[in-house]
Amino acid sequence: MINVGVLGARGRMGQAVCEAVAEADDMKLAAAVDHDEPLETLTEAGVDVVVDFTLPGVVMDNLAWCIDHGLHTVVGTSGFDQARLDRVGEMLGDDPEVGSIIAPNFGIGAVLMMQFAAKAAKHFASAEIIETHHPRKVDAPSGTAVHTARLIAAARAEADLPEMPDATAEDATGARGGEVDGVHVHAIRSAGYVASQEVRFGGPGERFTISHDSLDRASFMPGVLLAVRAVPSLPGLTIGIDDLLD
């Protein structure tokens, strides 16, 4: 049995994590903590692994406290740039006793979509990304689209592919979309969607499309539970769940 504590337990993701942990046969929801409860609740409850879905403004303090108290952490909270990741690495130290998995995306389908896109990229002349999200999303393109574009660009560069064929000479309305590392990204905001992405590849005589739709927060839970099971045997910092899928 893994004793799990959830930080941000009354948030949208936190509630879903509490339910998923409570339903898992090999886990116990030992503590559910939100902003008005002390972190000591975690140690008093004998927690082994802490899952944090809180806010970028508080997650670093939470992590420092957990690492200091010998607790493994699984973190989904956004806002981890390289400087923050380096800081967590320092907190864990050179000979870490605990593990911390920080993942910008716990959706297994979304992570596989990115892996498959990176694998396909070197084989096709053209690649473009179309992402569609709910209209309340404030940033465009999505972090997933940016990451996918970077993976595609890196794979193309490694394979020494020439520029993508595109005769567009005029684009007064921005109809060709945005560009991330030379890969066109089109962002659609539409009612009726949660988070969807298509990666379209084209080559002589063929088209190849990878498509992923996230319909509910439930899609993140298998990835979160996978990380909770893995983190006790992964001392130090692990970024993303890519390596756990193998």
Contacts to ligand NAD by CB under 6 A: 7-8, 10-14, 33-35, 53-56, 58, 76-78, 103-106, 220
DSSP state of 75: E
Q: Would you call 133 a catalytic residue per the annotation? A: yes
* Nearest distance, CB of residue 102 and ligand NAD, angstroms: 9
- The CA distance from 206 to 245, in Å, is 29
Q: By C-alpha distance, which of 219, 223, 218 is closest to 197?
A: 219
- Per the residue annotation, which of 72, 133, 147, 212 is the catalytic one? 133
Q: Give the nearer residue to ligand NAD in terms of CB position, either 7 or 127.
A: 7
Distance CA 231, CA 75 (A): 11
* The token pair that represents 190 in the structure block: 């539409």
Q: Compute the least distance from the CB of residue 194 to ligand NAD, in Å.
A: 11
The closest residue (CB) to ligand NAD is: 11
**Minimum distance from residue 119 beta carbon to ligand NAD (Å):** 22
Catalytic, 28? Answer: no
- List the helix and strand counts (H, then E) for the chain: 7, 11
Kindly tell me which of 155 and 228 has the beta carbon lying closer to ligand NAD: 228
The answer to whether residues 196 and 210 touch, using CB atoms and an 8 Å cutoff, is: no
C-alpha–C-alpha distance, residues 72 and 99, integer Å: 5
Q: How far is the CB of 14 from ligand NAD (least distance, A)?
A: 6
From the list 69, 122, 123, 137, the catalytic residue is 137
What does the alpha-carbon distance between residue 181 and residue 141 come to, in Å, rounded to a whole number? 13
Structure tokens at 158: 């490694």
Catalytic residues: 133, 137
